[in-house]
Amino acid sequence: MRLILLGPPGAGKGTQASGIINKYDIPHISTGDIFRKNIKEGTDLGKKAKEYMDKGLLVPDELVVDLVADRLTEDDTKKGFLLDGFPRTVAQANALDDELNKLGWSLDNVINIIVSKDDLIERAVGRRICKDCGATYHIKFNPSTIPGKCDVCDGELYQRDDDTKETVAKRIEVYENQTSPLIEYYDDKNILLNIDGAQDIDKVFNDVVVALRSNN
Ligand code: ADP
Ligand code: AMP
């Protein structure tokens, strides 16, 4: 299965990704996670990306496209992949099409998670992430058993630097201007699956599985 998760910041892409990659046994490729790993490791790419991420802006296409193209040539993608947070611009989508053509692959589906703007801000601001294993929680909607500790690995939970109310609002604006045109882009290719993301996490996952089953 070759899939993309599309949706505004805080829609629940990362949360749904963990269930999807388990069920379909495919690797999770999150460009946001790759940038955060680079920031943590202090690489040049991390330093460059951080300047944009802290402002809620997109990292320039030229820093993202090659990174994903390289990642797609790794062995584990032969069984498929789930792209999360990529593509985010029409230029990135075109570059992905070119790359997939080169590899002789095509996309199966684009899962578009729909959530209202007010919910997005509440979700993103309350998001907490495990610094060791990356598991995602929410202080109200999906809390860990012990506050501040990861249920999976006991790691410490932290709040992303870009999950402040102001930066989230900027990221949503950037999504509307630069990323939302991809809804039409993939709808025109007849591979878009619209999912109501304003439901419980399990219900959203169930809808994703049902939609994938009836389209493949
Ligand atoms: P994205 O990857 O799209 O930015 P996340 O998966 O990280 O979004 O989810 C953002 C926040 O919202 C997290 O704190 C997560 O626990 C919470 N969340 C995800 N899905 C739901 C849902 N269906 N209902 C309530 N909260 C959710
Ligand atoms: P995410 O983890 O998907 O919410 O992404 C966090 C931030 O990383 C975004 O606000 C962007 O600054 C940057 N980013 C992640 N993926 C991309 C992408 N495909 N193109 C440009 N910037 C990206």
Partners of 143 in the beta sheet?
A: none
**pLDDT one-digit tens code per residue, 156-211:** 999 999 999 999 999 999 999 999 999 999 999 999 999 999 999 999 999 999 99
Q: What are the residue ranges spanned by the domains of the chain?
A: 2-116+177-214
Task: Tell me the pLDDT band of 216, cut-offs 50, 70 and 90.
Answer: confident
CA distances from 31 to 44, 93, 127, 154 (A): 16, 14, 18, 25
C-alpha 92/C-alpha 175 separation (Å) is 14
Ligand of minimum distance to the alpha carbon of 182: 2
Nearest to 45 by CA among 55, 57, 31, 56: 31
User: What's the confidence (pLDDT) of residue 13?
Assistant: 98
SS3 content of the chain, % helix, strand, coil (to 5): 50, 15, 35
> Stretch 121-133: mean pLDDT, rounded?
95
**How much of the chain exceeds pLDDT 90, in percent?**
99
Catalytic residues: 13, 88, 127, 160, 171
Ligand of minimum distance to the alpha carbon of 112: 1
**pLDDT one-digit tens code per residue, 93-119:** 999 999 999 999 999 999 999 999 989
Cis amide prior to 87 (ω within 30 degrees): yes
Determine which helix (DSSP H) or strand (DSSP E) holds 188, and give its type and residue range. none
Atom of ligand 1 nearest to the CA of 8: 3
Residue 26 pLDDT greater than 90, yes or no:
yes
Cβ of 127 less than 6 Å from ligand 2: no
> Stretch 147-158: mean pLDDT, rounded?
97
- CATH superfamily label, 2-116+177-214: P-loop containing nucleotide triphosphate hydrolases (3.40.50.300)
User: What's the confidence (pLDDT) of residue 198?
Assistant: 97
